[in-house]
Amino acid sequence: MLSGMGMFGCLNDRISGFVSRISLFVKREAFAKRDTFHEIRFTSDASRDTRYASPDTRYGRPLLFFLSFFILFYFAEYPAACRGDEGESRTLRSSNTKYSEVFERSRVEYSASKNEPSEFFKRYPVILLQGGSFPTAAKADTIAYSRLTDGYWQIWVMNSQGQNKRQLTASPFDKRDSEGFSQGKKIGFRTANGELYIINSDGTDEKEILKKYGSINNPSFSRVKEEVVFVRFDPQLIDKSNIWKSDLKGENALMLTRGVALKYQPNLSPAADKVVFVQADQVNQSHHLWIMSADGADARQLTFGKKGFDHLPAFSPDGKTVAFSSNRENGNYEIYLIDVDSGASQRLTNDSALDTHPAFSQDGKRIAFVSDRSGSQQIWVMDLGGKNPVQLTNDKEESIDPVWLDMR
């Protein structure tokens, strides 16, 4: 057993080396500046997580790093190093996974440099993330949504418990109507200027598609084909639009609807054989759901009524049911279900607040939706029958447009 003096001397030597490494680390791995924000980017092979620290926390976070490294160093390194017993050195575990395996999955990349992590991180790889979890690739319970971020709607993802929130986009323009496709590996969205973009589900490779079609709205991507349906408005008439379909290269485009009525918000069925959409009733001044084959044939009206607006339809995974939002009963928007074949409908929510934009989970047992029942528009989730509503986002900024990423 070491004497008290010997233990103190050994610990002092180790702390001195630790402080030296901290100094080297700070010099080599400076925070990257983006306007008045500092950005740290944590990446793995298939995921990317971006965190922002406001200027008034720029000094608190390095201190937190320092203290965390010291605690790890003391408890994991000191006992073995001072005893000369490397075989008994402590192994850091996360969710019953060995520390070495965790670090192999997660690497640290700073925006200021493309270099590999510093030698200090290679030896003492501690990853500190908000929420205490590692960024992971999109899984079957991943929800994509738009969140107001620094003045723009940006694409974020989270799991179905509202955890592991990650910002995927940061370019300075609004991004709405996100949808996952290609087995959840890609996400498509449209901008406020009617431009259509796709990105990888880790936020990389953002690029515009279908430029030659001009202004595009309400895209819905096929989960089984490289196709997308979307809305094009008549540039001469603001109340006239039609539903189109195209492959992702912009070839073989087909206009699915005709006529002068306003048509919008198409949703392609999971099997890509049907399209549900909203069409204006010019006589009754109401909007109803219609459904047609994916080639535009056999269009028929799905919902009826002399008043109210039915909108934001979304197919269930089996294609037999459509969820939608409507103010048909009392002028307040609620979530409904309708059977595609029989037309039988069911009301799911009954709240004085706004409830809108439903989206089915991939197993069809839950529905994500937008509600302002907590004071601002946020993402909620409930059981298929409308029971057990749970709020997933609770930020100062609003969050809208939820959609489950299909990983099949």
This prediction has a pTM of 0.66
DSSP structure string for 130-181: TTS-------TTEEEEEEEETTEEEEEEEETTS-S-EE---SSS-EEEEEEE
Chain segment 249-260, per-residue pLDDT in tens: 998 899 999 988
pLDDT for 210 beyond 80: yes
Residue position matching structure tokens 């994500």: 368
When pLDDT is averaged across residues 334-352 and rounded to a whole number, the result is 96
First to last CA, the chain: 58
pLDDT of residue 407: 52
pLDDT for 266 beyond 70: yes
When pLDDT is averaged across residues 338-358 and rounded to a whole number, the result is 96
Shortest CA distance to 401 belongs to which of 137, 158, 150? 158
Contacts of 137 (CB under 8 A, 6+ apart): 44, 46, 47, 201, 202
Least confident residue range of 13-17, 206-210, 343-347: 13-17
Stretch (H or E) spanning 123: helix 119-123
Adjacent-strand bridge partners of 179: 188
Assigned token pair, 164 = 């592991």
Q: What is the DSSP letter of 212?
A: G
pLDDT of residue 239: 72
Print the SS3 string covering 5-64: HHHHHHHHHHHHHHHHHHHHHHHHCCCEEECCEEEEEEEECCEEEEEEECHHHCCHHHHH
So where are the chain's domains?
4-123, 142-404
Chain segment 286-298, per-residue pLDDT in tens: 999 999 999 999 9
User: Which of 39-43, 136-140, 230-234, 379-383 ranks highest by mean pLDDT?
Assistant: 379-383
pLDDT of residue 92: 29
Residue of 188 and 30 predicted with greater confidence = 188
pLDDT of residue 284: 81
Residue 405: which pLDDT band, with cuts at 50, 70 and 90?
confident
pLDDT of residue 330: 85
Residue of 406 and 241 predicted with greater confidence = 241
When pLDDT is averaged across residues 214-234 and rounded to a whole number, the result is 91
Residue of 132 and 229 predicted with greater confidence = 229
pLDDT of residue 141: 82
pLDDT for 117 beyond 50: no
Chain segment 55-64, per-residue pLDDT in tens: 344 445 455 5
For the chain, the residue count is 408
CATH code given to domain 142-404: 2.120.10.30
pLDDT of residue 36: 30
pLDDT of residue 67: 54
Indicate the average pLDDT of the chain: 74
Residue 139: which pLDDT band, with cuts at 50, 70 and 90?
low
Stretch (H or E) spanning 4: helix 4-28
Q: How far apart are CA 221 and CA 186, in angstroms?
A: 10
Least confident residue range of 52-66, 120-134, 163-177: 120-134
pLDDT above 90: percentage of residues in the chain: 54
Least confident residue range of 19-23, 142-146, 168-172, 330-334: 19-23
Residue of 346 and 15 predicted with greater confidence = 346
pLDDT of residue 115: 37
